[in-house]
Chain A
Amino acid sequence: MKKLLSAPALFAGAGIFLIVGLLLAFWWAPTDASSMGFSQKIFFYHAPIAETALVAFGVAFVAAIAYLRTQDLRWDRLGYVSIRLGLLFSVLVMLTGMIWGKAAWDTWWAWEPRLTTFLLVCFLYVAYWVLRSVVDEEQRRATYAAVFAIIAFIDVPITFFATRFLPEGLHPVVIQAGDSGMEGRMLTSFLISMLGMTLLLAALIRRDLEIEDLRDRVTDLKTSLGG
């Protein structure tokens, strides 16, 4: 079980699902019949990346609560790494969303509910980084960061449900309660890509945690050797 959850195994699983998802999206799933047409193919990675970014922020939220309960710095580290990766995925969502917006609606950006709240999420988590960089003392930094991560997470469900509560925006609502909104082959391709992206997030979290552990080890050894 431990081997199955190791970073290399997770990367391998992610790679397989992402490649299969991509192949199915282009060669098996039908082309969208709406005005989006072929540009809708962007959806098969764009939406899983968006969901994965929100999952990463969710992990950071849980880690923040766990840290405040236990004061264990390993939770702080998990939150920090998750937010870093969440931001990486968020940048990808924004870039691919802009390209898709240009293709589908002939505009790079629109101040509509989903896009605006997602941009706000990005700004909030950038602020999380700024906050971490200005506090030197480790335990205090972790406490402030955890409180901020919990507050910032409030915007995540708002972003997710923005298109459902305010449907007049440009961004389409694809998946709704009781209805995937997709043809069967599209849904299968989407779910496979979604699984791939989630595994990729897990693999990257594991690797980034290893990097942080090794960095600590190097600092400790340098200190014990007298700088």
Chain B
Amino acid sequence: MTIEEGVKYVAAAYAIILAVLVVYYFMSARRVSALRRDVEALEDEAKRRRAPAGEAGAE
């Protein structure tokens, strides 16, 4: 098979591999950032709720 004949197959194969891997990489990176934000927000909320309870306990 010559380069001219094979190039479309080779290009298609590498395009699929790189597209899938790059998309998966960025999707998982976004997922990590979103979850970290959720954890931070929930921890802040937990702290806020504990603070008045602590103040009430001190009184």
Q: Do B39 and A38 have beta carbons less than 8 Å apart?
A: no
Residue from the list A39, A41, A91, A211 in contact with B28, Cβ < 8 A: A211
Task: Indicate if the CB atoms of B42 and A36 lie closer than 8 Å.
Answer: no
Q: Which partner residue on chain A sits nearest B42 by CB separation?
A: A221
Q: Tell me the minimal C-beta distance from A221 to chain B in angstroms.
A: 4
Cα–Cα, bound, A46→B9 (Å):
13
Main secondary structure of the interface of A (DSSP, over half): helix
A188 at the interface (CB under 8 A from B): no
Shortest distance in angstroms between B3's beta carbon and chain A's nearest beta carbon?
5
- Complex contacts, B2 vs chain A, CB 8 Å: 37-38
Contact in complex: A103, B1 (CB < 8 Å):
yes
Distance A35 CA – B5 CA, assembled complex (angstroms): 12
Residues of chain A within 8 A of B32, CB atoms compared: 207, 210-211, 214
| Residues of B close to A99: CB separation below 8 A | 9, 12-13, 16
Interface residues of A, CB < 8 Å — how many? 37
C-alpha spacing A41/B13, complex, angstroms: 10
User: What separation, in Å, do the CA atoms of A104 and B46 have in the docked complex?
Assistant: 61
1/0 per residue, CB under 8 A from B, across A30-72: the answer is: 0100011111011001100100000000000000000000000
Chain B residues, Cβ within 8 Å of A37: 1-3, 5-6
- The residue that B14 contacts in the complex, of A45, A204, A208, with Cβ under 8 A, is A45
Which B15-41 residues have C-beta < 8 A from chain A? 16-17, 20-21, 24-25, 28-29, 31-32, 35-36, 38-39
CB proximity of B53 to chain A, nearest CB, Å: 13
Q: Number of B interface residues at 8 Å Cβ cutoff, please give it.
A: 30
Tell me which of B6, B25, B36 contacts A41 (CB under 8 A). Answer: B6
| Nearest A-chain residue to B24, judged by Cβ | A88
The answer to whether A46 touches B39, judged by C-beta atoms less than 8 angstroms apart, is no
A95 to B1 Cα, complex, angstroms: 20
Q: Any chain A CB within 8 A of the CB of B10?
A: yes
| B51 contacts the other chain (CB 8 A) | no
Other contacts beyond A104-B1, A200-B21: 7, CB < 8 A: A38-B3, A39-B6, A92-B21, A103-B9, A204-B28, A217-B35, A218-B35
Counting from the closest, the 7 A-B pairs by CB-CB distance are: A38-B6, A37-B1, A214-B35, A103-B9, A221-B42, A39-B6, A96-B13
Residues of B within 8 A of A (CB): 1-3, 5-7, 9-10, 12-14, 16-17, 20-21, 24-25, 28-29, 31-32, 35-36, 38-39, 42-43, 45-46, 49
